[in-house]
Structure 1
Amino acid sequence: MSDSHDPVAEQWEKLRRLSRSAGQDAKGTAASDGLSPTPVPPRTPYNPRRRRGRKPEKMKTRYDGRMDRSYRDPGQFGDLVQREIRRNGWNRNFAVGTLKGNWAGIVGEDVARHTWVVMYKEKERQLHIECDSTAWATNLRLMQTMILQTIAKKVGGDVVAELRIYGPRPPSWRKGRYHVKGRGPRDTYG
Protein backbone atom coordinates (compact mmCIF):
# COMPACT_ATOMS: atom_id res chain seq x y z
CA MET A 1 0.00 0.00 0.00
CA SER A 2 1.17 3.45 -0.79
CA ASP A 3 1.05 6.22 1.79
CA SER A 4 0.38 8.89 -0.91
CA HIS A 5 -3.25 9.12 0.13
CA ASP A 6 -2.66 9.64 3.85
CA PRO A 7 -4.82 12.64 5.11
CA VAL A 8 -2.62 13.27 8.16
CA ALA A 9 0.49 13.52 6.01
CA GLU A 10 -1.26 15.95 3.65
CA GLN A 11 -2.19 18.22 6.60
CA TRP A 12 1.40 18.20 7.85
CA GLU A 13 2.65 19.11 4.41
CA LYS A 14 0.21 22.06 4.16
CA LEU A 15 1.34 23.34 7.58
CA ARG A 16 5.04 23.10 6.52
CA ARG A 17 4.31 25.05 3.34
CA LEU A 18 2.40 27.72 5.28
CA SER A 19 5.20 28.15 7.80
CA ARG A 20 7.80 28.38 5.01
CA SER A 21 5.73 30.93 3.07
CA ALA A 22 5.15 33.02 6.23
CA GLY A 23 8.91 33.00 6.85
CA GLN A 24 9.61 34.02 3.28
CA ASP A 25 7.02 36.87 3.47
CA ALA A 26 8.73 38.25 6.54
CA LYS A 27 12.03 38.33 4.62
CA GLY A 28 10.39 40.19 1.72
CA THR A 29 9.80 37.43 -0.87
CA ALA A 30 6.33 36.63 -2.15
CA ALA A 31 4.67 33.29 -1.58
CA SER A 32 3.64 31.56 -4.77
CA ASP A 33 1.53 28.64 -3.53
CA GLY A 34 -1.63 30.70 -2.72
CA LEU A 35 -1.95 29.14 0.71
CA SER A 36 -0.32 31.99 2.60
CA PRO A 37 -2.52 34.14 4.84
CA THR A 38 -3.41 37.66 3.80
CA PRO A 39 -0.89 40.25 4.97
CA VAL A 40 -1.86 42.26 8.06
CA PRO A 41 -1.68 46.05 7.61
CA PRO A 42 0.61 47.87 10.03
CA ARG A 43 -1.14 49.26 13.10
CA THR A 44 -1.66 53.02 13.20
CA PRO A 45 -0.48 54.83 16.31
CA TYR A 46 -3.04 55.96 18.88
CA ASN A 47 -4.63 59.31 18.10
CA PRO A 48 -6.83 60.70 20.92
CA ARG A 49 -8.68 63.04 18.52
CA ARG A 50 -9.86 60.20 16.31
CA ARG A 51 -13.45 59.20 16.88
CA ARG A 52 -14.12 55.67 17.90
CA GLY A 53 -17.01 53.68 16.61
CA ARG A 54 -19.49 54.46 13.88
CA LYS A 55 -22.47 56.73 13.90
CA PRO A 56 -25.76 54.89 13.71
CA GLU A 57 -27.33 55.12 10.29
CA LYS A 58 -30.87 55.27 11.61
CA MET A 59 -32.25 56.53 14.91
CA LYS A 60 -33.71 53.90 17.18
CA THR A 61 -37.44 54.08 17.74
CA ARG A 62 -39.58 53.15 20.68
CA TYR A 63 -42.28 50.55 20.56
CA ASP A 64 -44.84 53.19 19.55
CA GLY A 65 -42.74 54.53 16.64
CA ARG A 66 -41.48 57.75 18.26
CA MET A 67 -37.77 58.53 18.23
CA ASP A 68 -35.87 57.13 21.19
CA ARG A 69 -34.18 60.09 22.86
CA SER A 70 -31.89 58.37 25.31
CA TYR A 71 -29.56 60.02 27.78
CA ARG A 72 -26.81 59.95 25.16
CA ASP A 73 -28.76 62.19 22.76
CA PRO A 74 -30.15 65.22 24.62
CA GLY A 75 -31.51 66.85 21.46
CA GLN A 76 -31.09 70.40 20.28
CA PHE A 77 -30.35 73.15 22.79
CA GLY A 78 -33.20 75.36 21.58
CA ASP A 79 -35.71 72.55 22.15
CA LEU A 80 -34.39 72.06 25.67
CA VAL A 81 -34.73 75.78 26.46
CA GLN A 82 -38.27 75.92 25.04
CA ARG A 83 -39.27 72.88 27.11
CA GLU A 84 -37.92 74.49 30.30
CA ILE A 85 -39.68 77.78 29.52
CA ARG A 86 -43.01 75.99 29.09
CA ARG A 87 -42.51 73.79 32.14
CA ASN A 88 -41.75 76.70 34.49
CA GLY A 89 -44.45 79.00 33.09
CA TRP A 90 -42.04 81.62 31.76
CA ASN A 91 -43.81 82.02 28.42
CA ARG A 92 -45.02 85.56 29.06
CA ASN A 93 -41.74 86.69 30.66
CA PHE A 94 -39.78 85.25 27.77
CA ALA A 95 -42.10 86.96 25.26
CA VAL A 96 -41.68 90.31 27.03
CA GLY A 97 -37.90 89.88 27.02
CA THR A 98 -38.04 89.11 23.31
CA LEU A 99 -40.22 92.18 22.82
CA LYS A 100 -37.79 94.46 24.65
CA GLY A 101 -34.73 92.96 22.97
CA ASN A 102 -36.18 92.99 19.45
CA TRP A 103 -38.07 96.29 19.58
CA ALA A 104 -36.38 97.50 16.38
CA GLY A 105 -37.50 94.36 14.54
CA ILE A 106 -41.11 94.84 15.62
CA VAL A 107 -41.70 98.55 14.99
CA GLY A 108 -38.93 99.26 12.47
CA GLU A 109 -35.54 100.92 12.69
CA ASP A 110 -36.61 104.56 12.31
CA VAL A 111 -39.39 104.30 14.94
CA ALA A 112 -37.11 102.38 17.32
CA ARG A 113 -34.52 105.16 17.05
CA HIS A 114 -36.98 107.56 18.73
CA THR A 115 -38.86 105.17 21.07
CA TRP A 116 -37.96 102.55 23.67
CA VAL A 117 -39.74 100.17 26.02
CA VAL A 118 -39.71 101.43 29.61
CA MET A 119 -41.60 98.71 31.48
CA TYR A 120 -44.22 95.99 31.28
CA LYS A 121 -47.01 95.57 33.84
CA GLU A 122 -47.92 91.92 33.94
CA LYS A 123 -51.27 92.16 35.74
CA GLU A 124 -52.74 94.73 33.35
CA ARG A 125 -50.72 93.44 30.36
CA GLN A 126 -49.61 97.00 29.60
CA LEU A 127 -46.49 97.93 27.70
CA HIS A 128 -45.14 101.38 28.60
CA ILE A 129 -43.24 103.15 25.82
CA GLU A 130 -41.36 106.41 26.06
CA CYS A 131 -40.60 108.68 23.08
CA ASP A 132 -37.92 111.32 22.68
CA SER A 133 -40.39 113.99 21.46
CA THR A 134 -44.10 114.71 21.77
CA ALA A 135 -44.46 114.46 17.99
CA TRP A 136 -43.24 110.84 18.06
CA ALA A 137 -45.57 110.09 20.97
CA THR A 138 -48.53 111.42 18.96
CA ASN A 139 -47.53 109.40 15.88
CA LEU A 140 -47.15 106.26 17.98
CA ARG A 141 -50.61 106.77 19.49
CA LEU A 142 -52.02 106.92 15.96
CA MET A 143 -50.16 103.72 15.01
CA GLN A 144 -51.16 101.91 18.23
CA THR A 145 -53.49 99.30 16.67
CA MET A 146 -50.96 98.41 13.99
CA ILE A 147 -48.21 98.02 16.62
CA LEU A 148 -50.45 95.78 18.76
CA GLN A 149 -51.21 93.57 15.74
CA THR A 150 -47.51 93.25 14.94
CA ILE A 151 -46.72 92.36 18.56
CA ALA A 152 -49.47 89.72 18.52
CA LYS A 153 -47.98 88.16 15.38
CA LYS A 154 -44.38 88.15 16.60
CA VAL A 155 -44.60 87.23 20.30
CA GLY A 156 -48.21 86.13 20.89
CA GLY A 157 -51.65 87.61 21.28
CA ASP A 158 -52.00 87.17 25.02
CA VAL A 159 -48.86 89.12 25.98
CA VAL A 160 -49.73 92.81 25.40
CA ALA A 161 -53.30 94.13 25.59
CA GLU A 162 -52.62 97.86 25.86
CA LEU A 163 -49.88 100.36 25.02
CA ARG A 164 -49.14 103.33 27.27
CA ILE A 165 -47.20 105.91 25.28
CA TYR A 166 -45.44 108.84 26.97
CA GLY A 167 -43.60 111.85 25.67
CA PRO A 168 -40.23 113.02 27.01
CA ARG A 169 -39.87 113.61 30.72
CA PRO A 170 -39.00 117.17 31.73
CA PRO A 171 -35.92 117.57 33.90
CA SER A 172 -36.40 117.71 37.65
CA TRP A 173 -35.95 121.06 39.31
CA ARG A 174 -35.62 119.54 42.75
CA LYS A 175 -31.92 119.69 43.46
CA GLY A 176 -30.15 119.47 46.80
CA ARG A 177 -31.39 118.83 50.31
CA TYR A 178 -32.81 122.30 50.84
CA HIS A 179 -35.29 122.95 48.07
CA VAL A 180 -38.29 125.25 48.07
CA LYS A 181 -41.63 123.46 47.94
CA GLY A 182 -44.03 124.60 45.33
CA ARG A 183 -45.02 124.16 41.72
CA GLY A 184 -41.71 125.27 40.30
CA PRO A 185 -41.25 126.97 36.94
CA ARG A 186 -44.23 127.00 34.62
CA ASP A 187 -44.80 127.65 30.94
CA THR A 188 -41.31 126.38 30.09
CA TYR A 189 -42.03 123.25 28.00
CA GLY A 190 -45.27 124.29 26.27
Structure 2
Amino acid sequence: MSEDEETPEAEAAAPADPDRRDDGLDLAKALTRATAGSLPTARRRSRKPPPRTSGGRVSGSHPDDRDPQLLESTLGRLVGDHGWELDLRVHGVFGRWAELVGDEVAAHCTPESFADGKLVVRTDSTAWATQLRLLAPTVVRRLNEQLGHGTVALLEVLGPNLPSWKKGLRSVRDGRGPRDTYG
Protein backbone atom coordinates (compact mmCIF):
# COMPACT_ATOMS: atom_id res chain seq x y z
CA MET A 1 0.00 0.00 0.00
CA SER A 2 1.37 3.38 -0.91
CA GLU A 3 1.46 6.43 1.29
CA ASP A 4 -1.10 8.20 -0.89
CA GLU A 5 -3.79 5.57 -0.24
CA GLU A 6 -5.62 5.86 3.06
CA THR A 7 -7.36 3.02 4.88
CA PRO A 8 -10.88 3.45 6.28
CA GLU A 9 -9.40 3.41 9.80
CA ALA A 10 -7.08 6.24 8.90
CA GLU A 11 -9.97 8.25 7.49
CA ALA A 12 -11.95 7.73 10.67
CA ALA A 13 -9.02 8.66 12.86
CA ALA A 14 -8.12 11.78 10.89
CA PRO A 15 -10.60 14.59 11.45
CA ALA A 16 -12.12 16.19 8.34
CA ASP A 17 -11.57 19.67 9.73
CA PRO A 18 -8.26 20.30 11.60
CA ASP A 19 -9.96 22.77 14.00
CA ARG A 20 -12.67 20.29 15.00
CA ARG A 21 -12.21 17.31 17.34
CA ASP A 22 -14.39 14.24 16.85
CA ASP A 23 -16.21 13.24 19.99
CA GLY A 24 -19.53 11.73 20.93
CA LEU A 25 -21.80 11.02 18.00
CA ASP A 26 -19.30 12.10 15.32
CA LEU A 27 -16.71 9.69 16.66
CA ALA A 28 -19.23 6.82 16.87
CA LYS A 29 -20.35 7.40 13.28
CA ALA A 30 -16.77 7.49 12.05
CA LEU A 31 -15.88 4.28 13.86
CA THR A 32 -19.00 2.56 12.56
CA ARG A 33 -18.14 3.53 8.99
CA ALA A 34 -14.59 2.32 9.47
CA THR A 35 -15.55 -1.07 10.88
CA ALA A 36 -18.45 -1.56 8.46
CA GLY A 37 -16.00 -1.62 5.55
CA SER A 38 -13.98 -4.41 7.16
CA LEU A 39 -16.92 -6.86 7.46
CA PRO A 40 -17.52 -9.32 4.62
CA THR A 41 -20.26 -8.14 2.29
CA ALA A 42 -22.12 -11.45 2.35
CA ARG A 43 -22.39 -11.37 6.14
CA ARG A 44 -23.83 -7.85 6.20
CA ARG A 45 -26.54 -8.57 3.61
CA SER A 46 -27.63 -12.05 4.71
CA ARG A 47 -30.69 -12.62 6.88
CA LYS A 48 -29.25 -15.30 9.14
CA PRO A 49 -31.01 -16.08 12.42
CA PRO A 50 -29.52 -14.37 15.45
CA PRO A 51 -26.64 -16.23 17.11
CA ARG A 52 -27.49 -18.59 19.94
CA THR A 53 -26.02 -18.20 23.38
CA SER A 54 -25.29 -20.91 25.90
CA GLY A 55 -28.31 -22.88 27.04
CA GLY A 56 -30.07 -22.64 23.67
CA ARG A 57 -31.46 -19.16 24.31
CA VAL A 58 -31.63 -16.75 21.43
CA SER A 59 -29.66 -13.57 21.81
CA GLY A 60 -31.16 -10.70 19.87
CA SER A 61 -33.47 -7.75 19.92
CA HIS A 62 -36.61 -9.72 20.77
CA PRO A 63 -37.74 -10.05 24.41
CA ASP A 64 -36.88 -13.22 26.30
CA ASP A 65 -36.74 -14.45 29.93
CA ARG A 66 -33.61 -12.43 30.67
CA ASP A 67 -35.36 -9.11 30.02
CA PRO A 68 -37.13 -7.16 32.77
CA GLN A 69 -40.61 -8.62 33.27
CA LEU A 70 -43.92 -7.03 34.21
CA LEU A 71 -44.83 -7.44 37.87
CA GLU A 72 -48.18 -9.04 37.01
CA SER A 73 -46.64 -11.87 35.00
CA THR A 74 -43.87 -12.44 37.54
CA LEU A 75 -46.33 -12.63 40.45
CA GLY A 76 -48.62 -14.89 38.43
CA ARG A 77 -45.76 -17.28 37.79
CA LEU A 78 -44.72 -17.20 41.49
CA VAL A 79 -48.29 -17.92 42.66
CA GLY A 80 -48.63 -20.75 40.13
CA ASP A 81 -45.30 -22.34 41.06
CA HIS A 82 -46.15 -22.42 44.78
CA GLY A 83 -49.82 -23.41 44.41
CA TRP A 84 -51.22 -20.35 46.15
CA GLU A 85 -54.16 -19.74 43.77
CA LEU A 86 -56.87 -21.10 46.06
CA ASP A 87 -55.46 -19.40 49.17
CA LEU A 88 -55.38 -16.04 47.42
CA ARG A 89 -58.92 -16.44 46.10
CA VAL A 90 -60.20 -17.44 49.57
CA HIS A 91 -58.51 -14.48 51.25
CA GLY A 92 -59.86 -12.26 48.47
CA VAL A 93 -63.34 -13.47 49.43
CA PHE A 94 -62.60 -12.63 53.07
CA GLY A 95 -61.75 -9.09 51.93
CA ARG A 96 -64.96 -8.84 49.85
CA TRP A 97 -67.20 -10.53 52.43
CA ALA A 98 -69.68 -7.63 52.61
CA GLU A 99 -70.02 -7.60 48.81
CA LEU A 100 -70.77 -11.33 48.69
CA VAL A 101 -73.22 -11.72 51.56
CA GLY A 102 -74.65 -8.21 51.74
CA ASP A 103 -73.96 -5.33 54.09
CA GLU A 104 -76.55 -6.28 56.71
CA VAL A 105 -75.37 -9.89 57.08
CA ALA A 106 -71.71 -8.81 56.99
CA ALA A 107 -72.36 -6.36 59.83
CA HIS A 108 -73.30 -9.29 62.09
CA CYS A 109 -70.98 -12.09 60.96
CA THR A 110 -67.35 -12.46 59.87
CA PRO A 111 -65.42 -15.33 58.29
CA GLU A 112 -62.80 -16.80 60.61
CA SER A 113 -61.08 -19.59 58.73
CA PHE A 114 -61.15 -21.81 55.66
CA ALA A 115 -59.61 -25.29 55.49
CA ASP A 116 -60.42 -28.42 53.49
CA GLY A 117 -63.63 -27.00 52.02
CA LYS A 118 -65.00 -25.89 55.39
CA LEU A 119 -65.63 -22.18 55.98
CA VAL A 120 -66.07 -21.14 59.60
CA VAL A 121 -68.14 -17.99 60.22
CA ARG A 122 -68.66 -16.29 63.61
CA THR A 123 -71.82 -14.28 64.34
CA ASP A 124 -72.39 -11.63 66.98
CA SER A 125 -75.64 -13.13 68.33
CA THR A 126 -77.44 -16.45 68.44
CA ALA A 127 -80.30 -14.98 66.37
CA TRP A 128 -77.87 -14.14 63.54
CA ALA A 129 -76.32 -17.61 63.85
CA THR A 130 -79.74 -19.13 63.23
CA GLN A 131 -80.41 -16.74 60.35
CA LEU A 132 -77.06 -17.53 58.71
CA ARG A 133 -77.67 -21.28 59.05
CA LEU A 134 -80.87 -20.76 57.06
CA LEU A 135 -78.97 -18.73 54.43
CA ALA A 136 -76.08 -21.26 54.26
CA PRO A 137 -77.02 -22.86 50.88
CA THR A 138 -77.24 -19.42 49.23
CA VAL A 139 -73.94 -18.25 50.76
CA VAL A 140 -72.16 -21.48 49.73
CA ARG A 141 -73.48 -21.12 46.17
CA ARG A 142 -72.24 -17.51 45.93
CA LEU A 143 -68.83 -18.42 47.32
CA ASN A 144 -68.45 -21.32 44.90
CA GLU A 145 -69.31 -19.00 42.02
CA GLN A 146 -66.39 -16.80 43.06
CA LEU A 147 -63.90 -19.53 44.03
CA GLY A 148 -64.78 -22.34 41.68
CA HIS A 149 -67.28 -25.19 41.87
CA GLY A 150 -66.90 -27.39 44.96
CA THR A 151 -64.40 -25.16 46.77
CA VAL A 152 -66.66 -24.51 49.77
CA ALA A 153 -68.44 -27.72 50.79
CA LEU A 154 -69.54 -26.80 54.32
CA LEU A 155 -70.40 -23.57 56.07
CA GLU A 156 -69.98 -23.86 59.84
CA VAL A 157 -71.75 -21.11 61.75
CA LEU A 158 -70.56 -20.32 65.27
CA GLY A 159 -72.41 -18.18 67.76
CA PRO A 160 -70.91 -15.32 69.69
CA ASN A 161 -68.01 -15.77 72.09
CA LEU A 162 -69.74 -15.73 75.46
CA PRO A 163 -67.94 -15.35 78.76
CA SER A 164 -67.09 -18.53 80.61
CA TRP A 165 -68.41 -18.96 84.11
CA LYS A 166 -65.63 -21.33 85.03
CA LYS A 167 -63.09 -19.77 87.35
CA GLY A 168 -60.00 -21.45 88.73
CA LEU A 169 -58.49 -24.89 88.23
CA ARG A 170 -61.22 -27.00 89.81
CA SER A 171 -64.90 -27.21 89.09
CA VAL A 172 -67.92 -29.27 90.09
CA ARG A 173 -69.68 -31.29 87.44
CA ASP A 174 -73.34 -30.39 86.94
CA GLY A 175 -72.95 -27.39 89.23
CA ARG A 176 -74.42 -24.01 88.40
CA GLY A 177 -71.10 -22.28 88.92
CA PRO A 178 -70.93 -18.80 90.44
CA ARG A 179 -74.72 -18.40 90.13
CA ASP A 180 -75.23 -21.12 92.74
CA THR A 181 -76.59 -19.90 96.08
CA TYR A 182 -76.40 -21.43 99.52
CA GLY A 183 -79.98 -21.67 100.24
TM-score range, shorter chain: 0.5 to 0.7
Match for residue 183 of structure 1? 174
Q: Name whichever structure is richer in helix by fraction.
A: 2
Question: Runs of 4 or more off by more than 6 Å in structure 1?
Answer: none
Identity score, percent: 29
CA RMSD of aligned residues (A): 3.2
1:89-108 superposed Cα distances (whole Å, 9 cap, x missing partner): 12222222222222222212
Q: Are 2:105 and 1:114 aligned?
A: no
Number of matched pairs: 124
Deviation at 1:70, TM superposition (A): 4.2
Alpha-carbon distance change, 68 to 158 in structure 1, aligned in 2, over 3 angstroms: farther
The one-letter code sitting in structure 2 at the alignment partner of 1:73 is P
5+ residue gaps, structure 1: 1-18, 20-62
Alpha-carbon distance change, 144 to 90 in structure 1, aligned in 2, over 3 angstroms: same
1:19-74 superposed Cα distances (whole Å, 9 cap, x missing partner): 9xxxxxxxxxxxxxxxxxxxxxxxxxxxxxxxxxxxxxxxxxxx9xxx83443330
Matched residue SS, 1:138 = helix
Q: Are 2:162 and 1:170 aligned?
A: yes
Cα distance in 2, alignment partners of residues 167 and 138 from structure 1: 9
* 8 A contact 1:173–1:184 mirrored in 2: no
Cα distance in 2, alignment partners of residues 175 and 96 from structure 1: 38
The structure 2 residue matched to 1:86, chosen from 67, 70, 80, is 80
Bigger Rg, structure 1 or 2: 1
Matched residue SS, 1:143 = helix
5+ residue gaps, structure 2: 1-16, 18-57
The one-letter code sitting in structure 1 at the alignment partner of 2:138 is M
Cα distance in 2, alignment partners of residues 89 and 140 from structure 1: 31
Match for residue 29 of structure 2? none
Cα distance in 1, alignment partners of residues 135 and 146 from structure 2: 17
